Each structure stands twice: as structure tokens, then as C-alpha cells.
């Protein structure tokens, strides 16, 4: 079967994981009625911090209740749960031991093995291979008239608290009901076309690019970059994104605005879905035969 039905969930994640998981589960009936076989989630769907100097305070760690939450989420929704990332600790020990902390001069004490990691699961909650963000976000938006954050700090440098991933991921699901090869990236990876060309060379037919784009960079570059990655690699692109005010603790006015506009783009560069500014589930059929038709029509790699 060359056609699959996928869902893309656009949300505004806050600090507390329980709140975010509850929000995702609130779409359960809608997901099941839609017939979606896979659900793509945004970057930082599990916990989002308004403080650009630190990672989210709530981490995922294997063999920990946080990890079991994600497995149960996939099982409850009965879909392939794909593409969403969470700040993840990659070693043993207490969940909050040796995290990055700021001293009085805003210097960081970096934890042992912290990654911005995509966690993938089958509908039965079985773990699939993970991907660690390889290109960490470094950007200075201070002085930008369009910077919309209450964090009062438009400087971002994920390399101060995350380690960069070392290898790309193409997930071969050709023997599953999805019958597709998916390549994974996260947010800032989008600006490195050679990375996605490598995913395509490894057989990717669909590229998942989960994101939490800032508003100014989103307005300037989001649509252009996603359409370019689809066109040059002759792949579908699904980009589930954070939207609106994110990272609040509920008792604080600190937050970050994110751009939204989760997109589904076909291999010819046509935008099938633009989710706009608001939270919501978006479902569409993806005809994988179009990937092969476009590649047969125009040889680019």
C-alpha cells in the first residue's frame, strides 16, 4: 500500500510534563476517529522551558517513570508516536543529579550526558531507534524588533547544556503497516541541507523535522526552508511545531513565543497543510508513490 494516513499535532508545551501529556491525550478520540496511523509531535513536547539559558527542568530517562509515560502515551493513542523530542539524560543515576545550573555570574555547570532526543514508539509502546539533535541552536536575537519573548533574553546556545548527536537516523518501517522510510531532524537541523541529503541517500521518503521555531526566524525562513528540503530531496516533509506562548509554569509570566505553522509539504514542494497559529490536530493522507514519480521525472541525486 503506497498511501498512509499521518497526524501532526501542534501544541503549546509548558514546563510541567503532566500538563503536556494530558493535552496530547485530549486529542485521543479525534486521532482515533481520523484513522491516523502515525502521530508526529513537536520539539520539546514533554517539557518546555522559558529560560533560554537552561534546558527544560523535567527530563526523560530510560527505565524511569518519565520514559514509561511516553510508552503509555503511544499505547493509549494506538499510533506510531514519532518525531517529538524531549530533553533526555543518557546515563544512570538520579533524574536531576548533575543537571546544568547557573551560578551567580550565569556560568553553566554542564551535566554528564544531556541530549535533545527524539523518542519513537510503535502503537504497542515498543521503543524504536532514537535521534539526538546534531546541530544545536546558536542564535542571538537581542535587539530584533520582532523578538517576542518575556524571557528578556534573545540569546540561545543549546551547546552550553546539550551534547550534539553523532549520527543521523533513517527509520526503516517498510515491513510495518506504515511501509515507509522516515528520516529525522530537529529544528535547527533544518538549516543544514547536506544533512537531509544524506537522509535521502539513505532511503528516506519522508522527512520529520520537529520544531520550536522563534517568531522572527519563523516569519523569515520557516516556509522557505521546509519547501526547499522537500524539493531538493524529493521527499515529503512533516514539520510538527510548537505554537504560541510556551514554557510557562502557570505561576509565572515567563514564557517564549513560538511560530507555529506546522507544515506538511509534498515532494514537489506543494504545501498540503499549514496549521497556522493555533493548537490542533491535522491529519492527511500521504501518497508515497508521488516520491518515486517525482524522482523518476527529475534526477537530482
Task: Name, in order, each residue with C-beta under 8 angstroms of 115's C-beta and a sequence gap of 6 or more.
Answer: 87, 88, 90, 132, 133, 162, 163, 165
How crowded is residue 16: how many other Cβ atoms within 10 Å of its Cβ? 18
d(CA 59, CA 67): 9
Q: Could you tell me whether strands 108-109 and 114-121 are parallel, antiparallel, or unpaired per DSSP bridges? A: unpaired
Range of the domain at 15: 3-297
Q: What is the pLDDT along the chain (301 residues), one digit of tens a residue?
A: 689 999 999 999 999 999 999 999 999 999 999 999 999 999 999 999 888 778 898 999 998 999 999 999 999 999 999 999 999 998 644 444 444 444 434 444 455 589 999 999 999 999 999 999 999 988 887 765 554 455 445 778 898 889 999 999 999 999 999 999 999 999 999 999 999 999 999 999 999 999 999 999 999 999 999 999 999 999 999 999 999 999 987 766 678 899 999 999 999 999 999 999 999 999 999 999 999 999 999 999 8
DSSP per-residue letters across the chain: --EEEEEEEEB---S-HHHHHHHHHTTHHHHHHHT-SEEE--TT-S---S-TTS--SS-EETTSHHHHHHHHHHHHHTSEEES-EEEEE-SSS-TTTT--EE-TT--EE--SSEEEEEEEE-TT--EEEEEE-SS--EEE-TT-TT--BSSS--EEEGGGT-PPP-S-EEEE-TTSTT--EEEEEEGGGGG-HHHHHHHHHTT-SEEEEEB--BHHHIIIIIHHHHHHHHHHHT-EEEE-BBEEEE---SS----EEEE---EEE-TTS-EEEE-TTS-EEEEEEEETHHHHHHHHHS---
* Alpha carbon 85 to chain centroid, angstroms: 5
C-alpha cell at 217: 526566524
Task: Name, in order, each residue with C-beta under 8 angstroms of 94's C-beta and a sequence gap of 6 or more.
Answer: none
Total structural domains in the chain? 1
Q: What angle do CA 238, 11, 89 make, to 5 degrees?
A: 85
Q: Which CATH number covers residue 220?
A: 3.60.110.10
Whether the CB-CB separation of 95 and 55 falls below 8 Å is answered with: no
Amino acid at each position: 500500500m503506497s498511501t498512509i494516513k499521518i497526524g501532526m499535532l501542534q501544541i503549546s508545551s509548558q514546563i510541567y510534563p503532566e500538563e503536556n501529556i494530558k493535552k496530547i491525550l485530549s486529542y485521543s478520540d479525534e486521532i482515533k476517529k481520523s484513522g491516523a496511523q502515525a502521530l508526529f509531535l513537536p520539539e520539546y513536547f514533554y517539557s518546555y522551558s522559558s529560560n533560554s539559558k537552561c534546558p527544560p527542568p523535567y527530563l526523560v530517562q530510560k527505565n524511569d517513570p518519565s520514559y514509561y509515560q511516553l510508552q503509555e502515551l503511544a499505547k493509549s493513542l494506538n499510533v506510531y508516536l514519532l518525531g517529538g523530542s524531549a530533553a533526555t539524560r543518557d546515563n544512570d543515576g538520579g533524574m536531576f543529579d548533575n543537571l546544568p545550573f547557573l551560578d551567580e555570574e550565569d556560568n553553566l555547570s554542564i551535566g554528564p550526558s544531556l541530549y535533545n532526543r527524539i523518542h519513537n514508539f510503535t502503537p504497542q509502546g515498543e521503543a524504536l531507534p532514537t535521534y539526538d539533535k546534531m546541530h544545536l541552536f546558536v542564535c542571538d536575537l537581542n535587539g530584533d524588533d520582532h523578538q517576542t519573548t518575556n524571557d528578556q533574553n534573545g540569546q540561545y546556545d543549546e551547546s552550553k547544556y546539550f551534547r550534539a548527536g553523532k549520527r543521523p537516523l533513517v527509520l526503516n518501517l517498510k515491513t510495518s503497516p506504515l511501509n515507509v522510510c522516515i528520516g529525522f531532524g530537529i529544528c535547527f537541523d533544518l538549516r543544514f541541507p547536506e544533512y537531509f541529503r544524506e537522509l535521502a541517500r539513505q532511503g528516506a521518503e519522508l522527512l520529520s523535522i520537529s520544531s520550536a521555531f522563534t517568531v522572527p526566524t519563523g516569519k523569515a525562513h520557516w516556509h522557505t526552508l521546509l519547501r526547499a528540503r522537500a524539493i531538493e530531496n524529493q521527499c515529503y516533509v512533516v514539520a510538527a511545531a510548537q505554537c504560541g506562548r510556551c514554557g510557562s509554569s502557570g505561576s509565572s509570566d515567563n514564557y517564549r513565543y513560538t511560530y507555529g505553522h506546522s507544515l506538511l509539504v509534498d515532494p514537489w514542494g506543494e504545501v498540503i497543510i499549514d496549521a497556522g497559529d493555533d493548537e490542533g490536530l491535522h491529519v492527511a493522507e500521504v501518497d508515497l508513490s508521488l516520491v518515486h514519480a517525482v524522482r523518476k521525472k527529475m534526477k537530482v541525486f
